[in-house]
Amino acid sequence: MVYEVPGRVREGAATPVSSMDRYREHYAKAANDPNQFWLDVTKSRIHWRKEPTEGLRGSFSTIQDGPLCWFADGELNITESCLDQHLESRGDKVAILWEGNEPGENRRITYRELHGMVCQAANALRELGLKKGERAIIYMGMVPEAAVAMLACARLGAIHSVVFGGFSADALADRIRDCGAELVITQDFAYRGKKQIPLKATVDDAVQAAPSVKKVLCVKRTGGEVAWDGNRDVWWHEAVDAASTEHAAEIVDAEHPLFILYTSGSTGRPKGVVHTSGGYITYTAYTHATVFDLREDDVYGCVADIGWITGHSYIVYGPLANGATSLMFEALPTYPDAGRYWDMVERLKISIFYTAPTAIRALAAQGDEFVTKYDRSSLRVLGTVGEPINPEAWEWYHRVVGDGGCNIVDTFWQTETGGIVISPIAPATPTKPGSATFPMPGIFPVLKTAEGQTVRGPGDGLLCMEHPWPGQARTVWGDHPRFVATYFDMMPGHYFTGDGCRRDEDGYHWITGRVDDVINVSGHRMGTAEFESALVSAEEVAEAAVVGFPHEIKGQGVYAYVVAQPGQTIDVGSLNGTVRSQIGAVAKVDKFQVVPGLPKTRSGKVMRRILRKIAEGRGNELGDVSTLADPTVVDTIRDGFQGTA
C-alpha cells in the first residue's frame, strides 16, 4: 500500500528536492558525476576559506591503504559555516531554542549570541591548554553549553568526543584513555525528569583511572554540591564568561578530524568512529535541508541526545550549518507526563519533529488524549530514526500526532554513515509505513547474499553501499586496520552496514535489523560482547551469552544466559548492578536465564543462532543441532525458557 501523503505544502519554498521527478534528476546527477554533484552541494552551503577543486580521493577497494578523502584541497573551519556565515542575514534569528527540564523553562540563543558564546568558550579552552588536533571529552546533559563546547572545540581545530551521560565512570575512563584526552568538559549534575544525574562525580571517578586528564571544566547547572580539585577543576562561568567574544577560527584541511564518537560493534570494546570536517558538514547540512524540506521559518525539534550521532548531525551541525532554529530538549518524553512533546510542539510552534520509534510506541501506549489536547497545527514533517518502525507505530504517528496531514520520514542511517542514507524526502516521496524507501542522492545501496552475490530486483540481502559519500566515517581512532576489517572485509569493494534489508517490487527498502551481534534497545546501540564481558566480571559467573529478543516498546530487549562458576550460585538480582557499573545506566539486562552450559560447536564456538531462537520463543524451530559438542544442553536451556513477554 502506497500512501500519497500530501503534507502541508506552503508557497515560496526553495527546497532541493521538491518532487519525485526532481529526486530522480538529483539522483541521476549524483550517479553520473558524484564529484561534481558534491562539489556543487558544498559550495552552495558551506563556507570555505579555500574552496575545494577536488571531490573524492581513494575508493572502497583501496581503503586498506588509508582513509578516503573528500574535498582534499579545501580549507575551512566548520564553525564559520555554523555561525559566522549567518551573522549578517540571520544574526537575530534563534539558533538554539532550549527547553529545560521544567515545561516552559526556555532559553533562546540567537546566531549572534551563539557566535559570541562559542568564541568565549574557544578562548577559555585555549587558555586551559587545548590545541589543534588534541582531544577533549564532553560528558554533559542537554544544556546549551554542551553544543557550545562542541563548537568551541571545532573552532580551535580540537577534536571532541561526546560521551553520553548514561555511561558509567568505567566506560568514560575507557574512552578517555582510548583517545588520550587531557581535558574533560562536564556539569555538576544533569536534570533528568525527577532525577539528578551526578555527572561531575562520575568524571571524578573516571579520572582516577584515566590520569591523562589535566583539566576538568564544569558547568554549574543545578548548583548541587560537588567535590573540587583546585588544581584540576575550573568552573565554566569563571573561565568562559570573562573571555573575549571574538575568536579567529583555526583554519584546517577538509580532512582534519572534527570528532570521535564511540559506538558498539559485534566484538570487543566500542570503536572510536572518526568524522572529519569538510565532508561531514556538507553531508549533514545537505541531508538535513533535503529530507526535512527545511524552510527559513521552521522550528526544528530533534529530541535526541547529543551523546549520540543523531544529536551531533541533526541537532548541532546540520541544522546550524543551514541557519535553522534547532531545539535542545533537556527532559524526558514522559516528564511531567506523556504529553510533554506535544505540549512543547504547541508552545514552541515546532514544525519539524524528529524522534525514535521506541518513544512513539511508549507514548502511543499512554493513549491519544496526551496528544490531542495540544494544538499540533504547526507540525509539517515528522521524522523517526534509530530502529525499524513497525507499521502500527508509523500509523499512529501519522494519524494521531500528525492529524493525517504531515509527511513521515523514516530515516535510516548509522554513526558510521554520518548522516541519513536511506529515507523518504518530504514532501516528495510517497511512503509505505515501515519502509525507509529510497537512497539519498549519492548513496548507492547494494543487497548481497552471504556468499557475496548481488541481489537484483526484489529480494532480501545484506545491506552494503557501493560508492563513498562525503559524510561517512573515515577511520577508527588509532586503528585503521580495525576500521577496514569491520566494514570492508566482508564484501570487498563495499561498505557493509551490518543490517539486513529487503527491497520490494517497487524498489522500496525495508531495513530488517542487524545481522551481527549488535542489539538495538530503545534505539540505543549495544554490543552483546560488552554485556558479556561485564557479566563475566562478576565473580560467580563463569560464562555468559547475550542476545536480543523482540520487545514491544524497546524494539529489542536484552536476554542473558549465564553459567555459574563450579560450586557457586548466581543471584541474578545483583547482576544488573555489575552491568550498570561497567557500562552505565543505559545498559540493563531484561531477562536472565541461569543455564548449566552454553551450546557450543566441537571447536568451542558458542552457537548464538540457537540462543537467539530460544530467546525469541522459537525454541521448537532450532533445526539441526547434531554438530554441537553436547546437544543435550539445548533441551535443558529450552525447558528453562521462561517466556519473554
The residues binding ligand WT7 (CB under 6 A) are: 263, 308-310, 385-388, 410-415, 436, 497-499, 511, 513-514, 520, 525
> Closer CB to ligand WT7, residue 386 or residue 441?
386
601, 528, 530, 606: which is closest to 563 by C-alpha?
606
- Nearest approach in angstroms of CB 554 to ligand WT7 is 13
Q: Other CB atoms closer than 10 Å to residue 425's CB: what's the count? A: 27
Cβ nearer to ligand WT7, comparing 182 with 499: 499
Question: In which residue are the cell numbers 561498505 written?
Answer: 495
Give whichever of 115 and 525 is closer to ligand WT7, judged by the CB atom. Answer: 525
For residues 390 and 593, which CB has a smaller minimum distance to ligand WT7 in the complex? 390
Give the nearest distance from C-beta 232 to ligand WT7 in angstroms: 32
The residue length of the chain stands at 645
| C-alpha cell at position 431 | 511512503
Q: Take residue 572 and report the three cell numbers written for it.
A: 541474578
* Neighbour-count burial for 290-316, b at 16+ CB within 10 Å, e otherwise: bbbbbbeebbbbbbbbbbbbbbbbbbb
> Least distance in Å: CB of 243 to ligand WT7?
34
Q: How far is the CB of 412 from ligand WT7 (least distance, A)?
A: 4
To ligand WT7, the closest distance from the beta carbon of 387 in angstroms equals: 5
Residue 570 DSSP code: -
Nearer to ligand WT7, 294 or 385 (CB): 385
What amino acid occupies position 433?
A: P
Question: Which lies closer to ligand WT7 via its Cβ, residue 202 or residue 384?
Answer: 384
Peptide bond into 439 cis (omega under 30): no
**Residue 165 or 498 with smaller CB distance to ligand WT7:** 498
Q: Which is nearer to ligand WT7, 308 or 561 (CB)?
A: 308
Q: How many CB atoms lie within 10 A of CB 22?
A: 14
Q: Cell 573571555 maps to which residue?
A: 243
Cell output for 317: 551541525
Measured at the alpha carbon of residue 285, what is the angle toward residues 279 and 289, in degrees to the nearest 5?
Answer: 145
Q: How far is the CB of 420 from ligand WT7 (least distance, A)?
A: 8
188 vs 410 by CB, closer to ligand WT7: 410
Closest CA to 594 of 636, 552, 534, 623: 636
Alpha-carbon distance 390 to 396, whole Å?
A: 10
Minimum Å distance from CB 520 to ligand WT7? 5
Least distance (Å) between residue 413 CB and ligand WT7:
4
CB nearer to ligand WT7: pick between 341 and 412: 412
Minimum separation from the CB atom of position 511 to ligand WT7 (A)? 4
Q: Which three cell numbers stand for residue 452?
A: 557475496
Cell of 501: 534489508
Q: Looking at this protein, which amino acid is placed at residue 22? A: R
User: Please, which residue, 101 or 310, has the CB nearer to ligand WT7?
Assistant: 310
| Shortest reach from residue 251's CB to ligand WT7, in Å | 30
Helix, strand and coil percent figures for the chain, each rounded to 5? 30, 25, 45
Task: Provide the minimum distance between the beta carbon of 572 and ligand WT7 in the complex, in angstroms, as a whole number.
Answer: 27
Give 413 or 488: the residue with its C-beta nearer to ligand WT7.
Answer: 413
Residue 391: count of CB within 10 angstroms of its CB: 12
Q: How far is the CB of 357 from ligand WT7 (least distance, A)?
A: 8
**Radius of gyration, CA atoms only, the chain:** 24
Peptide bond just before 103 cis, omega within 30 deg? no
Instruction: Kindly list the distances between the CA atom of residue 416 and the CA atoms of 35, 197, 501, 521, in Å, as whole numbers in the listed order.
Output: 21, 29, 17, 18
Distances (CA, A) of 278 to 46, 190, 281, 365, 445: 8, 32, 6, 42, 23
Angle, nearest 10°, between helix axes 169-179 and 199-208?
A: 60
Residue with cell 588536533: 133
